[in-house]
Amino acid sequence: MTETLRRPLVAPASPVATLDAPEAGGAGPRLRLGTFTSLQHRGYLYMWIGVLFTSAGAWMEQVAISWLVYQMTDSAFLLGAINGMRALPFLALAAPAGVAADRMHPKQLMLWSQGIILALYVGLVALLYLDMVEVWHLFVFTLGASAAWSFNQPVRQALIPYLVPRHDLMNAVALQSVGFNVTRVLGPGIGGVLMATVGGGGTFLLVTLTWVGVMVTTYLIPVPSAGIPAKKSSNAWEDLVEGLRYIRRDRVVLGLLLLALAPLVFAMPYMSLMPIFARDVFGMDARGLGELMTATGVGAIVSTLAVASLGDYRGRGKLLLGSGVGFGLSVVAFAFSTSYPLSLAILVVVGLFSMAYLPLTNTLLQLNTPQEYMGRVMSIYMLDRGLMPLGSFAAGAMAEALSAPLALGAMGALSALLIVLGVLAMPQIRRLD
């Protein structure tokens, strides 16, 4: 542990080779079952607790701000617009956020971006308690917080390899997904209860306190003071161009980035069509919608716990591709199922495959990217947060023109097909460990 924390963030000449070094004794890493292994590393433990705070706050905030907008305007368009607003900064700021992650000290960048978000929450709470909030305030808040978050995410991901040793990296990435999915199941319900009982001011006050927790846990992460990357050009533009050139010439990293985007754009929009299936296909009310969403959450939690338990598993490339194809095909199966109990079971499988795919992609990117490019690569990876709404828009348009089952079935099949084609075009990804 101590050796890991003392390792400087200035990348060695061959950082990937350093991470690939075998364990003491000469034997290579073996499959080790240990679901919560990464939490023994103090720096990662603080980061993981911060993930719980941020995810819980984000889910509660999403419910609360959506309810406020709809309550104030009765406009479905504005309701969709404020949720779409979250995606814009990730599309517009992905490149500069990645450059910043590779040029600045990671802890400093995390604290600055989180401090901006905390300040925005404090301002919104004040407006709510003074009964002065207007709809445009909510849009400004959402845009500002998402912009700051787009700078926080790449550096947060890039820091993980320096908080845990190589053989715990997949466990660490998967545990982040565990934290996200646990709060995904609990957070929206808590947010709804809070809005009904203490109102917008009380709800956002509690969310603000979660961000205080995020600031404290980030401050406690033991990052070496020599963490600012040493090798960088004289200006940010040259760093950006250099990062894009690296991605273009490294076929493994480029292939992983492309394979990461395909299911998120074409298969993940199944969530946006869920209300149509609940009401029009199965004849259910809001309770049925909640049950369908819970089924995917249960599958997601089971999946991420399973991935976290694999340890330094050999054959990650095959597992990645299998889970990606399984994700697309299970979405197709759900699209054409007319049995409600069967559909619930299928959605558990959808959650299993989707949440195995995400941490595996993240892990393989981190293992195959030199540290001096990590921030820029992870910022491109984070483009999924901006592109997913575009996939949802396409799914909605297709559902309107054809039907929800046909639209979702076509997109799920396309997602699986793109992954198969990617494997054929880039067979080296299948061989990744």
- Model pLDDT, residue 65: 82
Q: Work out the angle between the directed axes of helices 340-367 and 374-381 (0-180°, nearest 10).
A: 160
Instruction: Identify the weakest region by mean pLDDT among 68-77, 232-241, 325-334, 339-348.
Output: 232-241
- Model pLDDT, residue 198: 86
Residue 350 has which token pair?
A: 């959808």
- Model pLDDT, residue 243: 77
Cβ atoms of residues 82 and 139 within 8 Å: yes
Mean pLDDT over residues 143-167, rounded?
A: 82
Give tens-digit pLDDT for 39-63: 888 888 998 999 889 888 887 887 7
Q: For residue 283, which amino acid is it?
A: G
Give tens-digit pLDDT for 308-362: 776 656 667 788 888 889 999 999 999 998 888 999 999 999 988 988 888 788 7
From CA 70, how far away is CA 289, in angstroms rounded? Answer: 19
Whether residue 141 is predicted with pLDDT greater than 90 in this model: the reply is: yes
- Model pLDDT, residue 15: 36
Q: For residue 139, which amino acid is it?
A: F
- Model pLDDT, residue 121: 95
Whether residue 101 is predicted with pLDDT greater than 50 in this model: the reply is: yes
Cβ atoms of residues 378 and 158 within 8 Å: yes
Whether residue 247 is predicted with pLDDT greater than 70 in this model: the reply is: yes
What Å distances lie between residue 107 and 88, 115, 145, 155, CA to CA?
25, 12, 18, 8
Give the range with max mean pLDDT: 52-61, 73-82, 164-173, 394-403.
52-61
- Model pLDDT, residue 215: 93
Give the range with max mean pLDDT: 39-53, 69-83, 182-196.
39-53
- Model pLDDT, residue 86: 77
Does 232-433 match 38-218 at the fold level?
Answer: yes
Whether residue 1 is predicted with pLDDT greater than 50 in this model: the reply is: no
More confident residue, 158 or 8: 158
Backbone φ and ψ for 134, nearest 5 degrees, come out as: -125, 165
Cβ atoms of residues 109 and 96 within 8 Å: no
Mean pLDDT over residues 363-378, rounded?
A: 78
Fold classification of 38-218 is Growth Hormone; Chain: A; (1.20.1250)
Give tens-digit pLDDT for 251-266: 888 888 888 888 888 8
What Å distances lie between residue 327 and 69, 230, 265, 369, CA to CA?
33, 41, 12, 26
From CA 428, how far away is CA 433, in angstroms rounded? Answer: 10
With cut-offs at 50, 70 and 90, classify the pLDDT of residue 130. very high
Spatial neighbors of 304 by CB under 8 A, at least 6 apart, are 174, 175, 177, 178, 181, 355, 356, 359
More confident residue, 80 or 140: 140
What Å distances lie between residue 85 and 10, 56, 139, 141, 413, CA to CA?
36, 20, 8, 10, 29
- Model pLDDT, residue 105: 78
- Model pLDDT, residue 261: 81
Backbone φ and ψ for 311, nearest 5 degrees, come out as: 65, -140
CATH architecture of 232-433: Up-down Bundle (1.20)
With cut-offs at 50, 70 and 90, classify the pLDDT of residue 208. very high
Output the average pLDDT for the chain: 77
This prediction's pTM:
0.68
Whether residue 135 is predicted with pLDDT greater than 50 in this model: the reply is: yes
Whether residue 12 is predicted with pLDDT greater than 50 in this model: the reply is: no
Give the range with max mean pLDDT: 166-175, 189-198, 271-280, 335-344.
335-344
Whether residue 10 is predicted with pLDDT greater than 50 in this model: the reply is: no
Cβ atoms of residues 376 and 102 within 8 Å: yes
From CA 100, how far away is CA 413, in angstroms rounded? Answer: 37
End-to-end CA distance of the chain: 24
Each domain of the chain, given as residue ranges in start order, spans 38-218, 232-433
